[in-house]
Amino acid sequence: MMIKDSSLREDPDLRGELEFLARGCDFVLPSRFKKRLKSFQRAQIQPEKKPVSPPPPPIPRSPSPPPPAPPPPSVNIPRFYFPTGLPNLTVNIDEAIGKVEAAFTKLQEEKADIYEMAKIAKACGCPLYWKAPMFNCAGGERTGFVSVHSFIATWRKLLHSCYDDASKFVYLLAKPGFTYLEQEDFIPLLQDIVDTHPGLTFLKDAPEFHSRYITTVIQRIFYTVNRSWTGRITMTELRRSNFLQTLALLEEEDDINQITDYFSYEHFYVIYCKFWELDTDHDLFIDPKDLSRYNDHASSSRIIERLFSGAVTRGISVQKEGRMSYAEFVWFLISEEDKKNQTSIEYWFRCMDLDGDGVLSMYELEFFYEEQCERMEGMGIEPLPFQDLLCQMLDLVKPESYGQ
């Protein structure tokens, strides 16, 4: 039996069936039926054309919002990222606060000045030399003392948001709301160490050296701890370093020269004297000519040029004026004296990576070797040809791709 297409469309029952099928079905249809279904679907999509009336002007409308994202699968992933340390539920904050309050009751008018802050730091269970940052964070810097109320408010806030030493230390030292430490944030801490550490009492009569010592220690801290070279020490960098442990050691060791990391006065003295010798006009800056005299002209003029090019220093003043500050000299000296530490390796790598592509090419190595060869020839020593040296280096390093 043949059914005409037109009669098919008129049949309400069949139309309903077709509409149902057009919505989607998953049983197999005879091919003839499929063809009809297709033409029906097309008719549904394309509304009948009315050639007489002009099309309506487009109505500007905002794009419809995207459909809401499907709800996330209900899998419980335990929290694994704790930027301020792992919360310790066994710590009783009220008990900790009680101890601090008790320490304050022993003080006149329940106020602490910077000297009495030592007792408060110990009542808080902190290393002694956290006292100045604690004092300043609670507003002591402005008024010359901290009251029990202002300190407890600060300390309670800290205990509720910081769960390990690194996060507490950053909270105390950083500018309000910051999660990293910049160089100047360390000044009050170090000034307090200069003022109160028994190993530095002789500095009392030499205030002009306070800032030099403080600058040196800050540079050493950033040289070792700020492995990202950003000028900002993060909590993660602090946790990976030995800085907080070293700071805590200061309290037990009266001879500051025993603390060879960061704080040694002898180390400062050596670094500063070397700088003083080079800085003949004592304006606290040296130029390439001054630096070339370091260690009996050991550095080549090409590497010195790179040292002043901004490859290993920050700030435009250096590049502009071709001079190196005392702070930058500290970095140079540590890198020069200890070529094995990570920062030192990166320091010299940056100097030699002329095009800054993160790879030392044969050309870059040859560029620096060339000048040393000339100098050796000048001294009557026959230098090793670069090719031979290169072979030795390639054997040693075994680079993944040849020539890099």
Q: Which residues bind Ca ion (CB under 5 A)?
A: 279, 281, 283, 285, 353, 355, 357, 359
Decide whether 16 or 322 has the Cβ nearer to Ca ion.
Answer: 322
Residue 297 near residue 291, CB atoms below 8 Å? no
Q: Tell me the two tokens of residue 322.
A: 């071709």
330-359 burial code (b ≥16 CB/10 A, e <16) = bbbbbbbeeeeeebbeebbebbbbbeeeee
Q: Shortest CA distance to 136 belongs to which of 165, 79, 176?
A: 176
Tokens 């220093």 belong to residue: 313
Least distance in angstroms from the C-beta of 353 to Ca ion:
4
| Amino acid identity for residue 26 in this structure | D
List the one residue out of 114, 127, 86 whose CA is nearest residue 246. 127
| Number of other CB atoms surrounding residue 95 within 10 Å | 8
Closest CA to 139 of 128, 149, 127: 149
> How many CA atoms does the CB half-sphere of 304 hold within 13 Å?
19
Query: Of the candidates 162, 158, 160, 117, which has an alpha carbon nearest to the alpha carbon of residue 136?
Result: 117
- Of 300 and 361, the one with the shorter C-beta distance to Ca ion is 361
Residue 372 CB, nearest approach to Ca ion (Å):
19
At CA 257, angle to CA 254 and CA 262, rounded to 5? 105
Smallest separation, CB 337 to Ca ion (Å)? 21
In this structure, are residues 234 and 182 in contact, taking their beta carbons and an 8 Å threshold?
no
- Specify the DSSP element, H or E, that contains 268: helix 265-278
Nearer to Ca ion, 228 or 404 (CB): 404
CB of 147 vs Ca ion, minimal distance in Å: 48
Looking at the Cβ atoms of 48 and 355, the one nearer to Ca ion is 355
Nearer to Ca ion by Cβ, of 13 and 281: the residue is 281
Q: How far is the CB of 323 from Ca ion (least distance, A)?
A: 7
Return the number of the residue (359 or 381) whose C-beta is nearest Ca ion: 359
For Ca ion, the closer of residues 353 and 370 by Cβ is 353
Q: CB of 321: closest distance to Ca ion in angstroms?
A: 11
Using CA atoms, how far apart are residues 367 and 354, in angstroms rounded to an integer? 9
How would DSSP label each residue in 24-44?
Answer: ---S---HHHHHHHHHHHHHH
Least spacing, CB of residue 193 vs Ca ion, in Å: 28
Tokens found for residue 208? 């002009």
> Would you say 321 or 388 has its CB closer to Ca ion?
321
Q: CB pairs under 8 A, 24+ apart, for 351-356?
A: 351/303, 351/306, 351/307, 351/311, 351/312, 352/303, 352/306, 353/311, 354/306, 356/311
User: Whose structure tokens read 């309670």?
Assistant: 156
Q: Least separation, in Å, of the C-beta of 361 and Ca ion?
A: 5
8 A C-beta contact, residue 324 and residue 314: no
* Min separation Cβ 328 and Ca ion, Å: 13
**From the CB of 333, what's the least distance to Ca ion, in Å?**
16
Cβ distance to Ca ion smaller for residue 109 or 281: 281
CB nearer Ca ion, residue 91 or residue 359:
359
